[in-house]
Amino acid sequence: MKVMKFGGTSVGSASRICNVGELIKDSEPKVVVLSAMSGTTNTLVKISDSLYKGKRDEALAVIEELDAKYAGVIADLFATDEYRIKASEYVLGVMALLRSMVNEPFYTLQEKIVLAQGELMSTHFMHYHLLEIGVPNTLIPALDFMRVDKDGEPDYFYIRHNLAREIELRKAEDLIITQGFICRNNNGDVDNLKRGGSDYSAALIGQAIKADEIQIWTDIDGFHNNDPRIVEHTKAIRKLSFDEAAELAYFGAKILHPSTVSPAKMANIPVRLKNTMNPNDEGTLITHDSPVQSVKAVAAKDGITAIRIVSTNMLLAYGFLRKVFEIFEKWKTPIDMIATSEVSVSLTIDDTTHLEQITEELRKYGTMEVDQDMTIICLVGDFTSNQSANIAKVMNAMVGIPIRMISYGGIDHNISFLVKSSEKIQALTLLNNNLLNVQ
Ligand code: ASP
Ligand code: MG
CATH number at residue 423: 3.30.2130.10
* CB-based neighbours (< 5 A) of ligand 2, an ion: 7, 196
pLDDT of residue 225: 93
Report which ligand 1 atom has the smallest distance to the Cα of 119: 1
Name the residue at shortest CA distance from atom 6 of ligand 1.
196
Does the CB atom of residue 12 touch ligand 1 within 6 A?
no
**Distance of CA 256 from the midpoint of ligand 2 (Å):** 6
Which tens digits make up the pLDDT trace of 243-256? Answer: 999 999 988 777 89
- Residue 129 pLDDT: 98
DSSP letter assigned to residue 60:
H
Same domain membership, residue 310 and residue 170:
no
Whether 20 is covered by a domain: the verdict is: yes
Identify whether 250 is part of a domain: no
Closest CA to 198 of 174, 214, 212: 214
199 alpha carbon – ligand 2 mean position (Å) = 6
Question: Which residues contact residue 11 at a Cβ distance below 8 angstroms, ignoring those fewer than 6 apart?
Answer: 17, 20, 34, 35, 37, 38, 122, 125, 126
Beta strand pairing call for 338-340 and 138-139: unpaired
CATH number for the domain harbouring residue 104: 3.40.1160.10
Interatomic CA distance for residues 186 and 198, integer angstroms: 19
List residues bridging with 309 in a β-sheet: 345, 368
Domain endpoint, select from 196, 218, 240? 218
199 and 67 both lie in a single domain: yes
Taking the C-alpha atoms of residue 135 and residue 127, their distance in angstroms, rounded to an integer, is 9
Please give the order of strands across the beta sheet that includes 295-310.
338-340, 344-349, 295-310, 367-381, 414-420, 405-408
In a domain, 226, yes or no: no
Model pLDDT, residue 285: 97
254 close to ligand 1 (CB < 6 Angstrom): no
CA distance 397 to 401: 9
Instruction: Identify the three-state secondary structure at position 24.
Output: helix
Atom of ligand 1 nearest to the CA of 42: 4
Structural domain includes residue 411:
yes
User: Does residue 197's CB lie within 6 angstroms of at least one atom of ligand 1?
Assistant: yes
Last residue of a domain, one of 191, 218, 245: 218
Ligand 1 geometric centre to CA of 365 (Å): 42
* Residue 292 three-state SS: coil
pLDDT at 183: 98
Q: Report the run of H or E that residue 214 belongs to, with start and end.
A: strand 213-218
Are residues 302 and 210 part of one domain? no
Q: Which of 373, 435, 372, 371 is nearest to 398 (CA)?
A: 435
Single-letter amino acid, residue 283: G
- The answer to whether the CB of 259 is under 6 A from ligand 1 is no
Judge if the beta carbon of residue 196 lies within 6 A of ligand 1: yes
Q: What is the pLDDT of residue 169?
A: 86
Distance 40 CA to ligand 1 centre (A): 9
Give, rounded to a whole angstrom, the gap between the first and last alpha carbons of the chain. Answer: 38
The answer to whether position 225 is within a domain reads: no
Best of 5, 119, 194, 195 to mutate for ligand 1, by most ligand atoms within 8 A of CB? 195
Same domain, 211 and 315: no
- Of the bound ligands, which one is closest to the alpha carbon of residue 257? 2
Distance of CA 345 to the CA centre of its chain: 30
Distance CA 248, CA 261 (A): 11
Which of 203, 218, 233 terminates a domain? The answer is: 218
Burial class (CB in 10 A: 0-12, 13-18, 19+), 58: middle
Q: Do residues 30 and 151 share a domain?
A: yes
Count Cβ atoms within 10 A of the Cβ of residue 263 and give its class: 0-12 exposed, 13-18 middle, 19 or more buried: buried
Residue 36 CA: nearest ligand 1 atom is 1
Ligand 1 site, residue 330, Cβ cutoff 6 A: no
CA distance 274 to 352: 34
User: Sheet of 175-179: strands edge to edge?
Assistant: 138-139, 175-179, 30-34, 2-6, 213-218, 271-275, 284-287, 239-241
Ligand 1 atom closest to the Cα of residue 198 is 8
In a domain, 261, yes or no: no
pLDDT per residue of the chain (439 residues) written in tens, 0 to 9: 999 999 999 999 999 999 999 999 998 999 999 999 999 999 999 999 999 999 999 999 999 999 999 999 999 999 999 999 999 999 999 999 999 999 888 888 899 999 999 999 999 999 999 999 999 999 999 999 999 999 999 999 999 999 999 999 887 789 999 999 999 999 999 999 999 999 999 999 999 999 999 999 999 999 999 998 899 989 999 999 999 999 999 887 778 998 999 999 999 999 999 999 999 999 999 999 888 888 999 999 999 999 999 987 766 678 888 999 999 999 999 999 999 988 899 999 999 999 999 999 999 889 999 999 999 999 999 998 888 899 999 999 999 999 999 999 888 889 999 999 999 999 999 999 999 887 5
Q: Return the SS3 of 250.
A: helix
Q: Which atom, in ligand 1's list, is nearest to the CA of 199?
A: 8
Whole-model pTM: value is 0.90
Nearest to 12 by CA among 40, 31, 32: 40
Q: Are residues 203 and 332 in the same domain?
A: no
> What's the one-letter identity of residue 115?
L
Provide the number of structural domains found in the chain. 2
Please report how the helices 81-102 and 56-77 are oriented relative to each other, as an axis angle in degrees rounded to 10. 170
Query: For residue range 65-89, what is the model confidence (pLDDT) as tens digits?
Result: 999 999 999 999 999 999 999 999 9
Residues 310 and 192 placed together within one structural domain of the fold: no
Q: How large is the C-alpha radius of gyration of the chain?
A: 24
- Within-domain flag for 256: no
Residue 213 belongs to some domain of the structure:
yes
Query: What is the number of the ligand 1 atom nearest to the C-alpha of 8?
Result: 7
Q: How many CB atoms lie within 10 A of CB 101?
A: 20
Find the farthest-apart pair of alpha carbons in the chain and give their distance in angstroms, rounded: 79
Q: Are 302 and 212 part of one and the same domain?
A: no
Q: Which domain holds residue 325?
A: 297-438
